Every structure is written in C-alpha cells, then in structure tokens.
Structure 1
Amino acid sequence: MTDQDVAPAPDRAFQCEACGGVSEYAPGTYALRCPYCKHEQDITPIPRQVTEHPIEELAALPHRAIAPDQVKTYTCPGCHAVTESDTLSDKCPFCATPLVSDASGTERVVPEAVLPFGVSRDQARDALAKWTSSRWFAPDELKKVTEAETFRGSYLPHWTYDAQTSTRYAGRRGDYYWVEEKDSEGRTRQVRHTNWQPAFGTVDRFFDDVLVPGSGQVPEKELDKLTPWPLEETVPYQEEYLAGFRTVRYDIEPEAGLESAKARMAPVIRADCKRDIGGNEQRVLSMSTSYSALTYKLVLLPVWFLTYLHAGKTWSVMVNARTGEVIGERPYSATKITLASVGGALLIALVVLLVMMLRN
C-alpha cells in the first residue's frame, strides 16, 4: 500500500477555546494563538525527554526509501476539503486552516524533537530589512521586498548523531632545527631545516549532535550557513508546534545521513591526530576510525523562506527562525557600481591634483 492509497484520516484540529476557530503555533512562545480572536492557550508538554536512539534500532525498521513525490491525503477540519501534499504539515489551500499529519502512520522514522519557531514573521521581516540595508551596491528595489507578505515558515528535517570514536593514525612529525650556513658572498646566516620522524598513535573523541540535513530540497551548503542552531533548546516532538507551518518530510535515510556525519567528523579527527603528533609540522598519512555508542534522532528546525523577483530573475533568502541569521542571494545595482567607480576615479584624480599643487 502506498501513501496515495491511504484513506483520508481526521487530521488534528487545534480548536480555539474562546471562539472555536483553529489556532496556530505562536513563535517565541509555548502556546497556540487563534488568528481570529488572538486568544492563546498553552501547549501542554508531553511527559518525556528528547531521546537519542541507538543506531542498531534501524535494523528493525522497514527498509524503504522515502520518495519525495509520495503524497499524504489531508481532510481539512475547517472546510472539509480533501487535498494532497508531500509534507507533514501545511495549510489548507482553500481556507488556510493548519493541517498536521500523524507522522507515525507513514514515516519510517518519526521526529524525536523540534526546535520551535522563535522568530515571528514580523521579526524575520525586521532581520531582512537590516540585511538588505547592509548590502553594498544592492538596487533600491531590494528594500521593498521587506514589505512583501511572501514569507513562508517551514520546518526542515535534520538528523543528529552522537558517536564515540577511536582513531589509529600513522603520520610524520616535523621538528625544526637551524644550521649556520654561508651564502655565495661569504655572509653567515641561520637556515631552517626540518627533521622528519615517523609518528603513530591513537586519539579518542566523543561527538555530540553532529547535524546533517535530512532533505535535499535545500542545498546543504546553504543550510550550513544558517548554523549554529541552539539544539539544546529543542523540545520533544509535538504536533502543536507544527500548526500553521509547512513541515518537509525527510528524503535522506538515516543510514545515508550517518555516512555524511562521519564525513563531517573526519576533519575534526584529523586535527586531533595532528595535535597528538606534535612538533612544528605534521603529516597524517592514514587514519582508521572505529565508532561506538552510535545514536541518532530526527529533529525539525525552523526556517523562514522568501523568494522574490528582480530583473526577471528569482532570488532566494532564508532566515534562521531561531537566531534571526539571514542568508541569501541578492542582485547588484550596475548604476551604483558605475557611480562608485566614477566617484573613486574622481577622488584619485583630486588627490593627485592636490599633491601636484602642493609640490608647486
């Protein structure tokens, strides 16, 4: 049976206690807020802690890849429209009612933790305004995007991994020494040389929460620019935090994510080996790493997305919805660059003229 075959299930309706409307999660709080009457009701925390799962548990889970084009069927609790989406949460395209799916019904791995939105839409717009105002040579039209109502909040899936590592290495240690030598004119000078010796050893390191994107929808290099994430502020996964936001399903399996995590650990381990070798220079020729106490979890991280058009081209901006960090593309104003170049040339010419006048 595929996701398309699953019958529509009654999706969660976060009913407002005051007016009966459907509430949404309010960023920066631990509450749901009704968009109609503004009434807030606290999210009752579930009685459990965020848990790291042993990697061995994956062997007992179904071995299936999550196809990006698999869809979920939603029945809107507001207008009762039946729609399809490839997300864990979204908004009804007809009445904008929050739709949140039961992840345990279709996902191989259910989210363990969520880092709730801490930056509201207005705060994200303010952060974007500061970002645009600090961009040199940006066209004036860029500042207008801060007034647009095109911000979209999404939770992006990420894997985190813990691991105890032990690495045996082979390398070479270089120690400097100086020899007094004479040059072709008979002058004496100190010349540095390097004495290389074989080096062998073992280094141990514990890695905590190595973060790897769980979806390929956003380039990994771009997501890395949003770091660091305050992962210590995550809370146990609850559907209430997703209400009103889009939640992307993971399409990178945890086994593949683990290999990416090991690749991220490797430079750190190599640096440990160099420190262990000591000396003035170090060369690491080989490393053999064993991993133990491997654990993983799926965590949802919040991002505000903005896409805008300028000069017939699409530009994208992302805002870390916990720290307010802004990254993105932006156009350059040819007029401003030309004026700056002309101004710089005139300034140089003026300085040269003043120097000549002073000399005369």
Structure 2
Amino acid sequence: MYECKNCGAELRFDPESQKMKCDHCGSFYDPYDCHEGHETEENTEFGVKVFRCPQCGGEIYTTNTTAASFCMYCGSPAILEARVQKEKRPEKMVPFIKTKEDCKEIYRKQIGRFPFAPSELKNADYLNRFVGVYVPYWLYDTKPPQSIVLAGEQTSRVGDYIYHDHYRITGEIDASYEGLSFDASSSFDDHISEGIAPFPVEKMKPFTPAMLCGFYADTADVSAQLYEGDVRSMAGEDVLGKIRKDQTAHHYYYSGTESDFQTKVEPQFEIPSVKRALFPVWFLTYRKKDRVAYAVVNGVTGKLAADLPIDEKKYMISSLLMAIPIFILLNFFLVLTPQTLLSLTP
C-alpha cells in the first residue's frame, strides 16, 4: 500500500492529473517518487495481491488493499480467492488517461444507438461497474536480414514480341521495427483487443507499481514465443510492400509470390528484444444466466468495443408493432373483395 506522507491515507493514481492522489487530504505526489517498502527499480519482481475467480479461473492482481467483489471476465459475483505473491516487473506501461466518468459517457452515447439493448445496461448502478484493468502485452523489436536475394523480372516489348528477363536481385534492407504489441493474457479475447487498438506508444512510460494503485492488472500467462511468427509476418508484409514499390520504380519487378517471401525471407527476421508492458483498459461485464457480454474502452484513446446483448421482449414487441400496420395494409390492398373494390372505385 502507498501511504500519503501528510495524513497516512491510501494513495491512488489519478488519470486526470497523472499524479498519485490522496482523497483524504487532497495531496498529490509524483508516481516515481512513491516507493513501497524496499521496492527499487532494480527489482525484477514486486509484491501484489492476486484474485482468482473460482468460476472461470481468471486472475487479476492489485497493489491496493481493496478486494474484488466480482469477476470482470465472467461477471460472476462469487467471492474471489485471494493470495499474496510476487509478480514479474514489466519494463513499460501506458498509464490511464480516461477516467471512469469518461467511459460512462462514451458508453452512454453508444448504447443509445441500440434500442433493443436491455434496460439494465443504461442503469447508473450498472455503469458504476466499470473496472480499470492493466492488460499485459508483449512488445517485440524486430529487423529483417541485412541482405536478401529475391527473384526479379523485367519486361520489354520489341515489335510484336514481349521479352521477360529474369534476374536474381540482391539488396540490402535498412529497416527496423520497435514495439509491435500483442496481448499476453489468455483471458483477454484477441478480437476484443484488436477492437480497441492501437495504444499510443508515445504515451509509454517506465513501469512503476505506484500507477497500479486504484486499478487492477491481468496476469501474463501467454508465452512470448507464441507471437513470434505474427511479428515476422507483420514486419515482412511491410518490407515486401516497400520492396515492390522500390523495384517498380527501377523497372524491376519482384516476381516471387507472397508465399515465397513468407517461407524464404520472413524466417530470417531477427527478434532481438521482447519486453513486458501494461496497457490500460476499462472493462464492463454483463451477465444474465449463461450469456456474458463485454464492453471495453481503451484507457487512453477512449475507443470502445462492445458486444451488446438483445432484449428479446423489446425486440418482439417492436416487431409486432411494426408487423400489425403492415399486415393491415397488405390485407387491404392484396385481398380483393367486393367491398374493397367498391371503396377503391371513384
């Protein structure tokens, strides 16, 4: 726990001021000046309180003394199992900038566009269930091989004949990619993470546990090796695009297929560095029986991704109200009787 030097109350990280704030006396502190116990930047681990959901097995941790009353992943109100342990220290983090009130307003605007959403999704008590969570990510640095050999082609026309000259193109690549990010939590769905990406890397700061105060963090349980192929593919796609443009400008065309590039060149991409990082996400979980839906907000940009359920009663009532006048009109114009014919006669 991080205590206020003036009154001894617990501190929390305030997204608006980007400072540690004491809600009791109103004092503010620089997060990098706040240390807990014997904590130093050289430590590779730091102490946390871990909460585990007995329903889905999801785990989150915090540096606060507060308890988690429900699971943000499955929406279960069950009492979460707690334990104290050491967590590996990330190198980087992007602190929260959007507040809970910001998220509520963003969500209200979005939910207002869906007339069939359950009424409880607009309830003030429900919106207070927004939880700020730092999601773990892997940050990859990669670079292509310094020199490569590719198949090239030059086409020319002489009279009625078209000539295709094939070449071996040898060249050097001066490129590097830093901070390619992939989420490191198996509980955080990849489709959801893609829906609120990207997180601005210019907001990234050195990690300090102090910035976790007032928030939770998810545990990293996905191996960094899992995404190495995706990292090479992402960088390789960009490199190949630039090669095609460059060779076209010099009248030489890369004649190989994308598959050739993927199998022959991309495996040569080096990954010299992989770092741990935490990115801020606001979570809102909805659960009704076996239906679980999420709304997540990027804690920096405010970008929202939501899986909104449908209230079946609202949908049925609206469908019936629309169907009745349509049925009457169709019945009036399509079912011809002597009475309708007389009514249509001038």
TM-score bucket (shorter structure): 0.5 to 0.7
Quickly say closer, same or farther: Cα 1:296–1:28, change in 2 above 3 A. Answer: farther
Q: Which residue of 1 aligns with 2:245?
A: 275
Quickly say closer, same or farther: Cα 1:337–1:312, change in 2 above 3 A. Answer: farther
Q: Which residue of 2 aligns with 1:250?
A: 220
Q: What is the percentage of aligned positions where both structures have the same residue?
A: 18
Q: 2:210, 2:48 → 1: CA distance? A: 19
Q: What per-residue deviation string (whole Å, max 9, x for no partner) do you get for residues 131-151 of structure 1?
A: 212346545543337853211
- RMSD of the TM alignment (CA)? 4.3
Q: CA deviation at 1:342?
A: 4.6
Which consecutive unaligned segments of at least 5 residues does structure 2 have? Answer: 34-43, 51-57, 70-82, 335-345
Contact 1:163 1:292 in 2 (8 A): yes
Contact 2:32 2:210 in 1 (8 A): no
The total of aligned residue pairs comes to: 284
Tell me the amino acid that sits aligned with residue 269 of structure 1. Answer: V
Q: What per-residue deviation string (whole Å, max 9, x for no partner) do you get for residues 178-227 of structure 1?
A: x99xxxxxxxxxxxxx9876465445432121111122211222212211
Q: 2:199, 2:246 → 1: CA distance? A: 30
Q: 1:124, 1:19 → 2: CA distance? A: 31
1:14 equivalent to 2:2? Answer: yes
* Residue from 22, 34, 45 that aligns with 1:34: 22
Q: Which residue of 2 aligns with 1:158?
A: 137
1:265 equivalent to 2:244? Answer: no
Q: 2:67, 2:87 → 1: CA distance? A: 25
Q: What per-residue deviation string (whole Å, max 9, x for no partner) do you get for residues 305-359 of structure 1?
A: 111135862211111111111102012352477369759969x98xx99xxxxxx
Quickly say closer, same or farther: Cα 1:216–1:173, change in 2 above 3 A. Answer: farther
Higher strand share: 1
Q: Which residue of 2 aligns with 1:9?
A: none
Q: How does 1:1-360 map to 2 (within 5 A)?
A: 13-35=1-23, 37=24, 39-45=26-32, 74=49, 87-89=60-62, 91-92=64-65, 106-107=87-88, 110-135=89-114, 137-144=116-123, 147-166=126-145, 168=148, 170=150, 198=166, 200-201=168-169, 202=171, 203-278=173-248, 283-284=257-258, 286-287=260-261, 288-289=265-266, 290-292=268-270, 294-310=272-288, 313-332=291-310, 334-335=315-316, 338=319, 342=323
Tell me the amino acid that sits aligned with residue 14 of structure 2. Answer: A
Q: What per-residue deviation string (whole Å, max 9, x for no partner) do you get for residues 18-70 of structure 1?
A: 432111111132212234x2513222536xxxxxxxxxxxxxxx9xxxxxxxx
Query: What SS class does the counterpart of residue 45 from structure 1 fall into?
Result: helix
The two structures have a TM-score, normalised by structure 1, of 0.64
Q: Which residue of 2 aligns with 1:58?
A: none
The two structures have a TM-score, normalised by structure 2, of 0.66
Which consecutive unaligned segments of at least 5 residues does structure 1 have? Answer: 1-12, 47-61, 63-71, 76-84, 181-193, 354-359
Q: 1:131, 1:102 → 2: CA distance? A: 38
Contact 2:295 2:304 in 1 (8 A): yes
Quickly say closer, same or farther: Cα 1:106–1:196, change in 2 above 3 A. Answer: same
Query: What SS class does the counterpart of residue 309 from structure 2 fall into?
Result: coil
Tell me the amino acid that sits aligned with residue 12 of structure 2. Answer: E
Query: What SS class does the counterpart of residue 128 from structure 1 fall into?
Result: helix
Tell me the amino acid that sits aligned with residue 228 of structure 1. Answer: P
Q: 2:176, 2:324 → 1: CA distance? A: 55
Q: 1:343, 1:293 → 2: CA distance? A: 64
